[in-house]
Each structure stands twice: as structure tokens, then as C-alpha cells.
Amino acid sequence: MGKDHPDADVYPEATGLALDTVKAHLAESDLKLYSGWFCPFVQRTWISLEEKKLPYQYIEVNPYHKPESLLKLNPRGLVPTLEYHNKPLYESSVLCQFLEDAYPDREPHLLPADPYDRARTRIWADFVTSRIIPSFHRFLQHQGTDGLAEKQTEFLGYIKEFTKEMDEQGPYFLGAEFSLIDIIIAPWAVRLWVFDHFKGGLGIPEKGKGGDDESTWERWRTWLEAIEGRDSVKKTSSDRERFLPIYQKYAEDRAQSELAKATRAGRGVP
């Protein structure tokens, strides 16, 4: 894919707090993150790196204009890709778990010690990838008003199902400690504003107006506030204005990312 790819005109670098984080990680390192600042899958891995305060080198690439250095590591040319002691790894959820395995002495631990809680983490991480993310994109990429309410209802239904599995006290999914399951969904949670901007509203009721679901929505609000306030999330987020042209293409169903194309074809996350 060259510069003539329709999505290759993406803004070339991170902005805001994310740019400060990039500048702090330009030095050569045995651990390299090939990244696209705008990509939510990248943000999963980036949050994990920041949480564990690992030394890493940030390398910005435009995945629609793939450099040879990336293609040598990952033939699909997708981000995030990690280079670990000259060896390649990819798939964002795998990378997050790898960082936990490869650096077991680095805290915080992103996977719980209890085997049952670890299993639940994997179940609901899969739910995010197989249910929430595809429905996010079906809602966002839907054209016209006919059927839009159904896409919204489907998406919010999955959010409620996810929320009902959260620890009652929180604020995070498993309780007081931020963990992998929070990281897996966080990049989409902090992008929910796109529905207000492009689709006439997300549809989550205002505080006190959730009816029979009010306790569920109140728990979601508590979780979301904690996620949005987390340093690692803020430090890997760019200015909202730079996301607008990217998400406008999704909202108009013109985006040509692998995920956008999979959504159009009725498939899940590629």
C-alpha cells in the first residue's frame, strides 16, 4: 500500500499528552513499539507499556504506507507490532499478556494472581473483541436513519452485559486494581464521543434516568470515569480534533482499514 491509499493522509504524529509520551521514548531500545498514534489496538499495548513503566522505543508508522522495517517484522504490516530483542510479535491482546509474562517483576501486574479471575479476564476480553468492538463499528458505520436505532440498541446491550460482570464496588472491572480487562476495552471507551459527534447520540441515559437499568449505568459511569482519569490512558491519547477526520470516514462508511472492511462484509475483528 502506498501513499495513494485513501486513508494514508492521516495526521502524521501524536499530539497532546501522547506526543509528550512519544518524545520520552525515542531512544534506541531492545523493546520497540511500531505504532500508529490513532489506533485503538495500538493504545492497548501502549497503555500496558506505560503501566509497567518499561523502557521501550516508540516508532510511528503509517499503516496505510507501510515501511519495509515493519513488513519485515509483520508481513501483514499491522500495528501494533513489537520487536523484542530483534524478534517480532503482534496481535494487541497477545502483546499485553506477553508484557506481563516477559516482565513478571514489573508492577502493576495486569493479570490477577487468582486462576479463576484470570480465566474471567480472558472470557470478557474475548467478549470485548468478538462482541463490543464489532457492534461499535456496525453502529458507527451504519448509513441513514433506518436501522440505526437497532445498531445502537445492540451496542448498548453488549455494554450492559459487560458492565453487569464488573465487581460491584470497583471502580475497575475486577475491583480496586486496574487490569488487563480494563486495558482491552479502554481505547473504545474513551472514543465513545464519536457517536455524539457523528450519529446523533450514544444513547446512554443521563444520571438518574436509566430506569430499570439505572444501577448498571451508574456502575458504567463509575468505571468510565476511572478509565478516563487513568494516567496511562491520558498519556497515550492524542487531541480529539486529530481523530475527527479519521472517524468521519468511519461514520460515512468510507474508511478502508481492515476493521472497516470487515465490518462492511459482516465479519468480526480481522
Q: Which of 22, 33, 39, 78 is catalytic?
A: 39
Between CA 129 and CA 268 the distance in angstroms is 8
Other CB atoms closer than 10 Å to residue 253's CB: what's the count?
14
Give CA separation, 136 vs 34, 152, 176, 201, 205, in Å: 25, 8, 27, 13, 17
Residue 39 designated active-site: yes
- CA–CA dist 114, 121 (Å, integer): 11
Q: Where are the beta strands (DSSP E) in the chain?
A: 31-35, 57-60, 81-84, 87-90
Q: What share of the chain is helix, strand, coil (3-state, %, to 5)?
A: 50, 5, 40
Q: What is d(CA 79, CA 102) in angstroms, rounded to the nearest whole number?
A: 20
Residues with catalytic roles: 39
